[in-house]
A and B are shown apart, each in its own frame.
Chain A
């Protein structure tokens, strides 16, 4: 089975702190994604990567950056956390071959106070 893990289930940070969210997948997938999910807004794509050291902006990249130094690991960075970044953050991966279904991690519930 595909397994995607995220570094924390729950996280509480203060405004202005630098926040790191890490995601690891064990299926040698090429593509990795970061989303945030908010009530009424659904899943919104922040950044994605289709190869090591490659990154592409999604729909809402402002206030975020990413890093992919190894194929299995994709990190989301909040340079200076703000209260409007309080959300559920979801990481996903996909093969990029003949099937593009994405497999999701359990999510990180981030609260910025």
Chain B
């Protein structure tokens, strides 16, 4: 069964304290892995798509990487405005565009 597991469930950082969020996945054939940011009471906001092992994408303080079994979202020198829940999702080949979502990591960055 295809599934996505994110860890940790919650992460508290001090401003400037870099860290990583993990997304482990099992899927029959990976077509793409997606990262989203979700603020409280709002819809998820698309961040990155990764397609193959070794690929990396960056946006401001965020960098996403992909291996054959997991993806990491690295946050460098985070700021309080980076506080949000980060969701990971995968798409399998032949899935008609459906994504399988993890339950997310809730990140809190304290000033």
Contact = CB atoms under 8 A, between A and B. Distances in A.
Interface of A: 4, 31, 33, 40-43, 45, 48, 50, 56, 58, 88, 90, 92, 94, 96, 99-107, 109
Given A99-B32, A99-B49, A50 B42 contact: no
Does more than half of chain A's interface fall in helix, strand or loop, or is it mixed?
A: strand
Interface of B: 31-32, 34, 36, 41-46, 49, 87, 89, 91, 96-99, 101-104
Contacts of A48: 96-98
Nearest to B97: A31
A105 B46 contact: no
Given A90-B44, A104-B43, A104-B44, A43 B97 contact: no
Contacts of B98: 33, 45, 48, 58
Contacts of A58: 98
A98 to B, nearest CB: 10
A56 B31 CA distance: 20
B27 to A, nearest CB: 13
A94 B41 contact: no
B49 A101 contact: yes
A39 to B, nearest CB: 10
B50 to A, nearest CB: 11
Contacts of B36: 104
Contacts of A102: 34, 46, 89, 97, 99
A38 B41 CA distance: 11
A103 B42 CA distance: 12
B97 A100 contact: yes
Given A31-B97, A48-B98, A100-B32, A105 B43 contact: yes
A41 B44 CA distance: 15
B43 A42 contact: no
A31 B95 CA distance: 12
A107 B91 contact: no
A43 B43 contact: no
Contacts of A106: 42-43
